[in-house]
Structure 1
Amino acid sequence: MLYFVPTPIGNLEDISLRALSVLRSCEIVVCEDTRVSKSLVRLLNERFDAHINIQNFIPLHTHNESEFFANLTREFFDKNIAYMSDAGMPGISDPGVSLIRYAQNHNIGYEVLSGANAALLSIVASGLCEKEFVFLGFLPNTGKERTQAIQNALNLAYPCVIYESPKRILSLVNDIAKLEPEREIFAIKEATKKFETKFKSSAIKMSEILERSNLNGEWCVVISQSDNPSFETISISDINTLDIAPKAKAKLLSKITGQEVKKIYGELTK
């Protein structure tokens, strides 16, 4: 059986009794980082006398994904196998989703255990959500894609959750403040850990607060919903059917595709 086992996002005591039981039954752990998973198993044994005895830790990450699946056989799943992400629920912003799809496509039995999840913890702690929300995970790091992703987040009809690193948290809030200074933001760093810290304010005030704060640690940000959400979308085919000048059409297509206006204009006027 293949098990997807959630791991603590900070506080080791968030490991579930069922997760400990499953890990005791497993012979193999597939994981993002073998060092992280080995360290977690060691800590669980030391802290809770868990009696987990796994000898085989196999890495699965973006750099070896193709090779990993190319070498898989049906017999591999005759044993009890656990997949663990570095922290939190497997399959959320990690390669676990590829393993789930593989199991589905090859009729391999699997179970997903319930457990810690930073996005849900943050959305509840924020007080900004009553029911629906959007999970965006990590945004693109730089460039036009990041700018567009931030704008899209601000246009949503629901609160959204973003994961962010300590290196980019201040720039994220600054970028939001430039676009919508009064937009309400909630941010939490080091969730469930000893130095967990929560912030809630308008974007412009949050920017000032973070300027004088210790930013070390992993961050989760919740942005309140837009008062004027953008429901309408326009596609490339929609733009191509417009009866407008090629130069104007090229500019619109550039906004969507990220390609240079000159290149698009040249293709339109061939």
Structure 2
Amino acid sequence: MLYFVPTPIGNLADISERALNVISSSEIVFCEDTRVAKKLINLLKDRYNLNIKEKIFYSVHSHNEKDFIFNIDQSIFEKECIYMSDAGMPCISDPGVHLVRYMQEKKLAYEVLSGSNALLLSAVASGIVEKEFTFLGFLSNRGEARKIEIQNVLNSIYPVVLYESPKRIIGLIDDICEVDKDRRVFLIKEATKKFETKYIDSAKNLKIALEDKNLNGEWSVVIEASKNQNSEKITLQDIESLDIPPKQKAKLISKITGKSVKEIYNNLIK
């Protein structure tokens, strides 16, 4: 049996009783970083006085997940196994989805536990999301690909939730200002942690508010939907005609079509 276990995104008290029980009794731990997982389990053990079963740890992250699964002996799932992200819910801007697909393909039992998730926390805390919204995780780092993604975000008929790094949060607000300086944006930094900070204002006012602030930490961003419901979106044909590297083009096409970036890239370079 395999359990996907969400872990606290900052506050240890957010772990569920069920997650503690599953972590304690598991024999096999799949995780992004074995050092992070071992440290977290030790912290939980001390805080909740857990009787932790001896475990074998395997590092399964975004760079090796497919290869790891290809070579795995499925008999390992006869034992009690868990998959843990470093923080938050597996598969949401974190590895794990290929492991879910493997379990489905092999018709093996798995469960996903409920728990901490920066995406939903941000959507609720924003006051912007009422029902529908779009989640895009991290945008491209730079260049034409990022410009196109931001334009599509600002054209969206639904609020959009993003994750952003402290190095790029000011750049993101600048990019929004270039298109729509009056767009309302919600920011939350270090959610659930001691120095959690929230901002909500127009992009132009946030640009001023963030000046000289300590930007270190994890950021989630909620951007108000476009008031112009007839906004013209960038199409697949628009992207195909761009003079940009095939790898960037493949990522953009993947966001629109949902197809594999690798498959699209291989077709582009034929």
The verdict on a shared fold, with TM-score over 0.5 as the criterion, is yes
Structure 2 match to 1:204: 204
Among 218, 238, 241, the alignment partner of 1:254 is: 241
Separation in structure 2 between the aligned mates of residue 166 and residue 259 of structure 1, nearest angstrom: 26
1:39-58 counterparts in 2 under 5 A?
Answer: 39-58=39-58
Question: Deviation digits for residues 24-79 of structure 1, max 9, x if unmatched?
Answer: 22101101111111110010011111222343110111222233112211211110
**3-state DSSP class of the match of 2:193?**
coil
Structure 2 match to 1:83: 83
1:129-168 counterparts in 2 under 5 A?
Answer: 129-168=129-168
Normalised TM-score (structure 1):
0.86
**3-state DSSP class of the match of 1:102?**
helix
Give, as a single letter, the amino acid of the residue that structure 1 aligns with 2:164.
E
Q: Which runs of 5+ in 1 are unaligned?
A: 240-251, 261-270
Separation in structure 1 between the aligned mates of residue 139 and residue 233 of structure 2, nearest angstrom: 22
- Paired residues of 2:148 and 2:234 also in contact (CA < 8 A): no
Separation in structure 2 between the aligned mates of residue 100 and residue 5 of structure 1, nearest angstrom: 13
Structure 2 match to 1:11: 11
- Paired residues of 1:133 and 1:159 also in contact (CA < 8 A): yes
Is residue 2:188 matched to residue 1:188?
Answer: yes
**3-state DSSP class of the match of 1:211?**
coil
Kindly tell me the number of residue pairs found equivalent between the two proteins.
245
Separation in structure 1 between the aligned mates of residue 131 and residue 66 of structure 2, nearest angstrom: 38
- Paired residues of 2:66 and 2:98 also in contact (CA < 8 A): no
- Paired residues of 2:2 and 2:81 also in contact (CA < 8 A): yes
* Aligned-residue offset at 1:208: 0.9
Separation in structure 1 between the aligned mates of residue 77 and residue 58 of structure 2, nearest angstrom: 13
Give, as a single letter, the amino acid of the residue that structure 1 aligns with 2:152.
N
Computing the radius of gyration from Cα coordinates, the structure with the larger value is 1
- Paired residues of 2:152 and 2:234 also in contact (CA < 8 A): no
CA RMSD of aligned residues (A): 1.7
* Aligned-residue offset at 1:20: 0.5
Separation in structure 1 between the aligned mates of residue 193 and residue 234 of structure 2, nearest angstrom: 41
Question: Deviation digits for residues 72-114 of structure 1, max 9, x if unmatched?
Answer: 1121111010000111111111121110011001101100000
Q: Which runs of 5+ in 2 are unaligned?
A: 247-270
Identity of aligned residues (%): 56
- Paired residues of 1:29 and 1:54 also in contact (CA < 8 A): no
Judged with a 3 Å threshold, the aligned counterparts in structure 2 of structure 1 residues 235 and 140 are, in CA distance, closer, same or farther, namely closer
